[in-house]
C-alpha cells in the first residue's frame, strides 16, 4: 500500500488563511476585528518559537499552555487610523468610540503604530506604540572609558551600589503592603467563592497587589533614568563570575 504523505504542520500564514473558515463555523468571531484575530495567532507562534529555541546554556523555555478566555487579558490592533483619538475618546474598530483618560498628550510628529487594550485590576488601559523617523537610532559603538562608564553591583540589603560608592536602598513595597494584604485576604477567605461579595473582595486584593507593583515599576524606571543620566555605559557584576570580579556590559 502506498504510504500517504504527511500533512504540513499549521504555521502562522496557513492559520491566517483559515480564519475565513473559522468565522463561518463560529459566527461570533465576525464581531472581532480581523487584525486582532491575526495578532492572536502571532502570539501563539511567538510562544512556540520561544519554546523551540535553545538559549546560550542549552536550555529551553517552558512549554506554552492553553489560555482560556478568562486568562486572556489583552488584545492588539496592529494597525489603526492616525485620527483614532478625538478629544477624550478613542475610536476602536468593531467596538466604537470609547472614553479614555489621557496620561499625557501625544508628541507632535509621532505616528501611532499599534494599540493594545489591557485589562487590569482597576480597569482597562490603552497602550499606544509610537514612531518618529526623525529620532536617531541608538548608537552602540561607544567605547567604555573611566569617564563614561558606571559600574553597579546588585545586592540584597541595598538594591544596588555604584562604583562611585553611592547606594540605592531597596524600597520593599510588597513587604510594606503585607499588613493590608493580610486583612484583605482574611476578608476574601470568609466569603463564599463565586458570590458577588467574594468577587468584590477578590478585586480589592488584586488592586492592592497592583498598587505595590506600580510603585515598584515607577521606582525602577526612576532609578534607571538617574543611572543613565550619569554615564553612557552601565556595567554590572555577572553573578556567574562574581568570584573573578568581572564586569558584564
Among positive and negative, which fits the CA dihedral 134, 140, 143, 144? positive
Q: Please state the length of the chain.
A: 249
* pLDDT the model gives residue 154: 86
Per-residue pLDDT averaged across 198-207, rounded?
A: 95
Position 68 pLDDT exceeds 90: no
| pTM of this prediction exceeds 0.85 | no
Per-residue pLDDT averaged across 102-115, rounded?
A: 88
Three-state DSSP class for residue 198? helix
The pLDDT-based confidence of 246 (bands split at 50, 70, 90) is low
* pLDDT the model gives residue 238: 72
* pLDDT the model gives residue 184: 96
The pLDDT-based confidence of 7 (bands split at 50, 70, 90) is low
CA distance 249 to 232: 11
Instruction: List, for residues 22-33, the tens digit of each pLDDT value.
Output: 999 999 999 999
Instruction: List, for residues 167-193, the tens digit of each pLDDT value.
Output: 999 999 999 999 999 999 999 999 999
* pLDDT the model gives residue 244: 53
118 neighbors 210 (Cβ within 8 angstroms)? no
Q: What is the mean pLDDT of the chain?
A: 87
Position 226 pLDDT exceeds 60: yes
CA distance 171 to 227: 17
* pLDDT the model gives residue 126: 94
Position 137 pLDDT exceeds 80: no
Helix pair 196-230, 178-189: axis angle to 10 deg: 160
Nearest to 151 by CA among 59, 243, 96, 227: 227
Number of alpha helices (DSSP H) and beta strands (DSSP E) in the chain:
6, 11
Position 71 pLDDT exceeds 60: yes
Position 74 pLDDT exceeds 70: yes
Position 239 pLDDT exceeds 70: no
Q: Give the least confident one: 70-84, 132-146, 204-218.
A: 132-146
CA distance 33 to 31: 7
Instruction: List, for residues 42-66, the tens digit of each pLDDT value.
Output: 998 888 888 888 777 777 778 888 8
* pLDDT the model gives residue 248: 57
Amino acid at each position: 500500500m502506498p504510504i500517504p504523505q504527511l500533512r504540513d504542520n499549521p504555521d502562522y500564514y496557513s492559520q491566517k488563511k483559515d480564519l475565513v473558515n473559522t468565522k463561518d463555523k463560529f459566527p461570533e468571531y465576525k464581531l472581532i476585528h480581523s487584525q486582532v484575530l491575526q495578532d492572536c495567532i502571532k502570539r501563539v507562534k511567538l510562544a512556540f518559537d520561544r519554546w523551540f529555541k535553545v538559549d546560550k546554556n542549552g536550555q529551553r523555555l517552558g512549554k506554552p499552555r492553553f489560555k482560556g478566555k478568562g486568562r486572556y487579558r489583552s488584545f492588539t490592533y496592529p494597525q489603526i487610523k492616525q485620527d483614532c483619538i478625538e478629544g477624550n475618546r478613542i475610536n476602536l474598530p468593531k467596538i466604537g468610540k470609547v472614553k479614555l483618560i489621557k496620561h499625557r498628550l501625544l508628541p507632535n510628529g509621532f505616528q501611532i503604530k499599534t494599540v493594545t487594550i489591557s485589562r487590569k485590576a482597576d480597569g482597562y488601559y490603552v497602550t499606544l506604540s509610537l514612531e518618529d523617523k526623525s529620532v536617531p537610532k541608538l548608537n552602540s559603538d561607544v567605547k567604555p572609558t573611566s569617564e563614561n562608564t558606571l559600574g553597579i553591583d546588585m545586592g540584597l540589603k541595598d538594591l544596588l551600589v555604584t562604583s562611585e560608592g553611592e547606594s540605592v536602598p531597596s524600597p520593599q513595597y510588597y513587604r510594606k503592603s503585607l499588613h493590608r494584604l493580610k486583612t484583605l485576604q482574611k476578608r476574601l477567605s470568609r466569603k463564599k467563592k463565586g458570590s458577588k461579595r467574594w468577587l468584590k473582595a477578590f478585586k480589592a486584593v488584586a488592586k492592592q497587589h497592583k498598587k505595590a507593583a506600580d510603585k515598584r515599576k515607577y521606582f525602577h524606571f526612576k532609578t534607571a533614568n538617574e543611572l543613565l543620566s550619569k554615564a553612557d555605559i552601565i556595567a554590572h557584576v555577572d553573578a556567574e563570575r562574581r568570584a573573578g570580579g568581572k564586569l558584564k556590559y
